[in-house]
Amino acid sequence: MQRVAFLLKVREERLDEYKARHREVWPEMLDALRSAGWRNYSLFLRPDGLLIGYLETDDFDAALAAMAGTEINARWQAEMAPFFEALDGRRPDEGMIPLEEVFHLD
């Protein structure tokens, strides 16, 4: 099992709307994430827009690829892209910056 943490940057002027969208994630998107092997997935947001994501999966690259192959992910990523800084034309799921795990209690 892989534990994955990643960074993205949400535009400060869009924080409230970003949080509101995540209170109402489409059921089809939730089902797709689960089917693609995303487990224990959480997002944490700092007031300046720094977003830290965390998930557990058997294979992060395979989980990303499985999501990339779904129509629901394409629609979600297109709607979410304007919320983020520094994507340089990439989708938000392509702009995730994974962090190196340096300690785990267990």
Residue-wise pLDDT for 13-60, tens only, equals 999 999 999 999 999 999 999 999 999 999 999 999 999 999 999 999
Q: Where are the domains of the chain?
A: 2-98
Domain 2-98 falls in which CATH fold? Alpha-Beta Plaits (3.30.70)
Distance (Å, whole) CA 41 – CA 8? 15
Is residue 22 annotated as a catalytic residue, yes or no? yes
Paired sense of beta strands 50-57 and 39-45, if any: antiparallel
Closest CA to 73 of 36, 20, 22, 43: 36
Beta strands in 13-99 (DSSP E): 39-45, 50-57, 97-98
Name the token pair of 16.
Answer: 């409230």
Q: What is the pTM of this model?
A: 0.91
Which one of 3, 22, 46, 75 is the catalytic residue?
22
Would you state the pLDDT for residue 89? 85
